[in-house]
Amino acid sequence: MVVFGPLQVLSGIFGWVYFFAWSLSFYPQSMLNFRRRSTSGTTVDFPLINCLGFFAYLVSNAAFFYSPLIRAQYAARNKGLTPTVQFNDITFAAHGLLLSLVTTSQYFFPGVWGFRPSLGNRPSRVILGIFFGSIVGVAAVLLVVLRSPLRDSLQDVAGAWVWLDAIYAVSYVKLIVTLVKYTPQVVVNYRNRSTQGWSISQILLDFCGGILSISQQGIDSYIQGDWSGITGNPVKFALGNVSMIYDLIFMTQHYVLYSGVEAKPEESEALLGNSNDEEWRVN
């Protein structure tokens, strides 16, 4: 019979609460878009690059959680410890990928949703460059691992290219995506001098999830008695920190800089269309 101490219970609670907070954060934007029948005021860059990020996150988490080889190679490099990835990380990644695909479809196929075409439906060159550059980078690492005679080794993993390195490469895609995905929307808000069209609810939920995610990883590392639980899984640790920094920027824009500010005229026109058409009016 497995006995769980208070810290294990607290870690589990934090894990599922941050799972629900982060999972719920995907709904407000798509629901707001649907209510407004428009994506005006936002950019497709965010949900598009999120699709790549959460696909990479799902693959890497599944490998760390389910693959005996990856777990053994991880243990060989991290003093016999196991990855801190938990089942809720996998379900969160799968859910995030699904909702990101749904939200992205609102930009690429507005007619299917009954939306009027809006500004920001075309991805920027920077985001497209990061999107395809990340894929090329992972492919390059995969080729190196495939050429390594020690790729399946469980002994000499410190200086050799093994399958764990390929999974790390995939996981770093999520880290890269997290570093850049919010920037286009920050710029759009700055140019419009408004956060109208951008859901603050998703930001508040994301901020809550980030705090709990970092707390859970800290508790897990403390229980194991070694902080390599964080250094061995830098992506999960960085996700919470980077996201919270962006969340603070968005909260500052929404509640301080542009509080009560209406959208720019061209954004309002793109949203409202005919001023007499109440269906497109923002409440």
Assess contact for 263 and 189: CB atoms under 8 A: no
d(CA 189, CA 182) in angstroms, rounded, equals 11
More confident residue, 230 or 166: 166
Sign of CA dihedral 264, 265, 266, 272: positive
Determine the angle formed by the axes of helices 200-224 and 6-24, rounding to 10 degrees. 160
- pTM: predicted TM-score of the whole model, two decimal places: 0.79
Helices (H), the chain: 6-24, 27-36, 45-66, 68-77, 87-108, 110-113, 125-147, 163-180, 183-192, 200-224, 228-231, 234-252, 265-272
Closest-CA residue to 202 (of 52, 1, 30, 5): 30
Assess contact for 165 and 29: CB atoms under 8 A: no
4 pLDDT tier (thresholds 50, 70, 90):
low
Closest-CA residue to 233 (of 247, 246, 220): 220
pLDDT, tens digit, 9 for 90 and up, residues 220-235: 778 777 666 566 556 6
Residue 87: per-residue pLDDT: 86
Assess contact for 88 and 20: CB atoms under 8 A: no
**Lookup result for tokens 């707390």:** 215
Spell out the domain ranges in the chain: 6-272
d(CA 210, CA 263) in angstroms, rounded, equals 29
pLDDT, tens digit, 9 for 90 and up, residues 233-283: 566 566 667 888 999 999 999 999 998 766 554 444 333 333 333 332 333
d(CA 210, CA 96) in angstroms, rounded, equals 15
Q: Is 157 exposed, middle or buried (0-12, 13-18, 19+ CB in 10 A)?
A: buried
Assess contact for 158 and 77: CB atoms under 8 A: yes
pLDDT, tens digit, 9 for 90 and up, residues 47-84: 999 999 999 999 999 999 999 999 999 888 887 878 87
Average pLDDT, the chain: 83
Sign of CA dihedral 212, 215, 221, 222: negative
What single DSSP character describes residue 154? Answer: S
d(CA 278, CA 133) in angstroms, rounded, equals 43
55: number of Cβ within 10 Å: 20
What single DSSP character describes residue 273? Answer: S
Cα-atom radius of gyration of the chain, to the nearest Å? 21
Assess contact for 201 and 69: CB atoms under 8 A: no
